Amino acid sequence: MIRLVRLAALGASLLLAGPAMAQTTLLNVSYDPTRELYKAYNTAFAAHWKAETGEDIVLRQSHGGSGAQARAVIDGLDADVVTLALEADIDAIASKTGKIPADWRKRLPNLSAPYTSTIVFLVRKGNPKGIKDWGDLIKDGVEVITPNPKTSGGARWNYLAAWAYAEQQSGGDEAKTKEFVGTLFKHVPVLDTGARGSTTTFVQRGIGDVLLAWENEAFLALEELGPDQFEIVVPSLSIKAEPPVALVDGNVDQKGTRKVAEAYLEYLYSKDGQTIAAKNFYRPSKPELADPEDLKRFPDVKLVTIDDPLFGGWAKTQPAHFGDGGIFDQIYKPAN
């Protein structure tokens, strides 16, 4: 028995030796659809850092629903930087742990959003249900796929874009707006927890007629799974989604990685960073730095923003719409 324990200990130390010997590592805790973006960006940044300083650096990624990822950082996940879907999620880390200062949005250009995106529709090839705008989503027999706004950042943008459209259509009548959004969610047969889950539901499992998706997610699905199966429909009105990034001061100071972590975020705004963002279907915040060919792919959409008077920023919108007992809870009754 003692021999067995020794053997296990030896095996354990051998197995552990791998990661323990690594050099400076940086952990980027991100949300669901940015996997491909940061895979490309990390390679570019590692090369850039090596050229600048001669140091090798290991970049680690963790992905999941934006809210769940923020929760993990609050519970102690050792993130050097967070790149999440919503300002509210980073605010939650700031207020619950104090590891990020409250004014974090002002520390980087464009309110800490190096790229933006919007919400579009992904429909099956030939658009058999003739879906052109938000109003078509509540027609009889149309099934809509979106993740759950309670758990998914992307889903909150979906919901708010629908809200903005209904508000505009009804001329500011809140009861009618609520009714439209409520009806829309009655057309949702499956409410996944994250954006990528909804995409697989729609694309792989073949459920639903239209997927409300991040523009980058919709383009990626087209690219990965074939333009012969799906097409993108751009609604008359959508929302400008600004996924923000932030340094987790409390963690980088403990690990001594502040310098490289700051450089990592700043490099997102460089020519390389902006080009990679555009290549991965995110709208660069400095389009003049990106490849014009990539920019041509983005359709013109009339965009509202979260800071418009209609919503009044995340600090107001989050509790009013998505808090416990908020408007989403009032209008959403799961369809049987």
Q: Which span (75-83, 209-217, 229-237, 239-247) binds another protein, by CB under 8 A?
A: 75-83
CB closer to another protein out of 11 and 101 = 11
Least distance to another protein, CB of residue 70, Å = 13
Phi and psi based region of residue 220 (left: phi greater than 0; alpha: psi -120 to 50; beta: remaining): alpha
Q: Which span (219-227, 240-248, 259-267, 298-306) binds another protein, by CB under 8 A?
A: 219-227
**What letter does residue 119 receive in the DSSP assignment?**
E
Least distance to another protein, CB of residue 93, Å = 11
* 171 near another protein, judged by CB under 8 A: no
* 43 near another protein, judged by CB under 8 A: no
When computed from its CA atoms, the radius of gyration of the chain, rounded to whole angstroms, is: 21
Among 2, 18, 23, 141, binds another protein (CB under 8 A): 18
Contact 297, 281 (CB under 8 A): yes
Among 32, 80, 89, 209, binds another protein (CB under 8 A): 32
* 149 near another protein, judged by CB under 8 A: no
How many residues of this chain bind another protein (CB under 8 A)?
A: 34
What CA–CA distances, in Å, run from 221 to 36, 216, 226, 280? 12, 9, 8, 11
Of the chain, the end-to-end C-alpha distance in Å amounts to 56
CB closer to another protein out of 1 and 175 = 1
Among 40, 44, 46, 74, binds another protein (CB under 8 A): 74
Per CB under 8 A, which of residues 241..260 are in contact with another protein? 254
* 96 near another protein, judged by CB under 8 A: yes
The distance from CA 84 to its chain's CA centroid, rounded to whole angstroms, is 6
* 184 near another protein, judged by CB under 8 A: no
* 270 near another protein, judged by CB under 8 A: no
Contact 143, 184 (CB under 8 A): no
CB closer to another protein out of 112 and 251 = 251
* 40 near another protein, judged by CB under 8 A: no
Among 40, 44, 46, 61, binds another protein (CB under 8 A): 61
CA angle 50, 281, 249 (to 5 degrees): 50
Closest CA to 153 of 293, 320, 33, 254: 33
d(CA 316, CA 307): 10
d(CA 156, CA 264): 28
* 64 near another protein, judged by CB under 8 A: yes
Least distance to another protein, CB of residue 200, Å = 7
What CA–CA distances, in Å, run from 199 to 107, 296, 315? 33, 24, 28
Q: Which span (28-36, 43-51, 137-145, 309-317) binds another protein, by CB under 8 A?
A: 28-36
Going by their DSSP bridges, the two strands 237-241 and 230-233 should be labelled as unpaired
> Which spans in 187-282 are helix H?
195-203, 215-225, 249-255, 258-266, 271-279
Residues lying near another protein in the complex (CB under 8 A) are found at: 1, 4-5, 8, 11-12, 15-16, 18-19, 27, 32, 35-36, 60-64, 72, 74-78, 96-97, 196-197, 200, 220, 224-225, 254
